[in-house]
Amino acid sequence: MTRPHDPRTTELFQQALEQNTGETISLEQFIAPLETRAYGFLVVLLSLPNFIPIPMGVGGICGTLLVLIGAQMLWGMPRPWLPQFARQHGFPRRSVETFVAHMAPMFNRLERVCRPRLEQITRKPWSHFSGLVLILLGILLALPIPFTNYPFGLLIMGFGVALIERDGGLLSLTWGATIASAAMVGSLSRAMVALVQHFIG
């Protein structure tokens, strides 16, 4: 259960920056001290590349990592495991600082409405379903669909904040939005296939 004195999402980012003074900050440095909150914090961290200018193709990388994290939640692992190359991947400190500064107002707004509620939804057995939804969200992010990184990034951020804050209400909203997004992508894909078949035929 999240206690009132537990650090909020923004405080966790600030602590990570203060405790790691190098030019790059690795995923392992971020998640090592977080224990049961590591899943949520790691999901929030993986939303970062969707809001800062970075090379093309990062959606595929982050999406793959989200699928890996979701699979571990689905399996019921108490803490996330990442392969060594992912654990040691470093984010430039300046990029992280810029992200935290730019996104702090949004985080603060989320934190004002987030609180521990419907907490059972954030724990087993519902965490298995959360893992399944996160796999779906990772697949959506990895697809080469233009102009979707930002909205999917918002979903990822909401998902992670809900896990950190133990907010089952927000978590259920992200479930619904992810499933609706998948249905929309599926409908658009079928429409495009039908259009192509019409012109070919």
| pLDDT at 131 exceeding the cut of 90 | yes
Is residue 4 in some structural domain? no
- Amino acid 54: pLDDT: 60
188 vs 152, residue with greater confidence = 152
Is residue 14 in some structural domain? yes
32 vs 166, residue with greater confidence = 166
* pLDDT tens digits, 98-115: 877 777 787 777 777 788
- Both tokens of 36, joined, read 């049961």
Is residue 3 in some structural domain? no
| pLDDT at 1 exceeding the cut of 50 | no
Q: What's the whole-model pTM score?
A: 0.74
Number of domains observed in the structure of the chain: 1
Find the domain containing 195 and state its range.
9-200
| pLDDT at 2 exceeding the cut of 50 | no
Which are the contacts of 31, defined by CB distance < 8 A and separation ≥ 6?
A: 38, 41, 42, 45, 80
- Both tokens of 90, joined, read 């470093």
- Average model confidence (pLDDT) across the chain: 79
Is residue 153 in some structural domain? yes
In angstroms, the CA 154 to CA 161 distance is 10
